[in-house]
Amino acid sequence: MYQSLASLLAAVLFAATLGVSTPASAADPSDIGVVEVQLIMREALAGKSIQVQIESTRSSYEAAVLAEETRLRDLEQELVRQRSLLAPEAFADKRREFENQVATHKRDVRARRRTLDQAYSVGVRQIQQAVTEIIAKIAEQRNLMVVVPASQILFANPALVITNDVLSELDEKLPDVTLDFSLN
Mind listing the pLDDT tens digit for each residue in 129-145? 999 999 999 999 999 99
Q: Show me where the domains of the chain are located.
A: 28-173
Query: Containing H/E element for 100?
Result: helix 88-141
Going by pLDDT thresholds of 50, 70 and 90, the confidence category of residue 7 is: very low
Tens of pLDDT, residues 11-46: 333 333 334 344 444 556 679 999 999 999 999 999
Q: What is the predicted pLDDT for the residue at 28?
A: 62
Among 82-96, 98-112, 127-141, whose mean pLDDT is lowest? 82-96
Write down the mean pLDDT value for the chain.
86
Q: Which of 50, 54, 58, 55 is nearest to 130 (CA)?
A: 50
CA atoms within 13 A on the CB side of 34: 14
Q: Is the pLDDT of residue 3 over 50?
A: no
CA-CA-CA-CA torsion sign (58, 63, 66, 71) = negative
Strand 32-35 relative to strand 146-149, pairing: parallel
In angstroms, rounded to a whole number, what is the distance separating the alpha carbons of residues 158 and 162?
9
Tens of pLDDT, residues 44-80: 999 999 999 999 999 999 999 999 999 999 999 999 9
Residues 144/63, Cβ–Cβ less than 8 Å? no
Q: Average the pLDDT over 87-97 and give the result.
A: 94
Q: Average the pLDDT over 154-175 and give the result.
A: 95
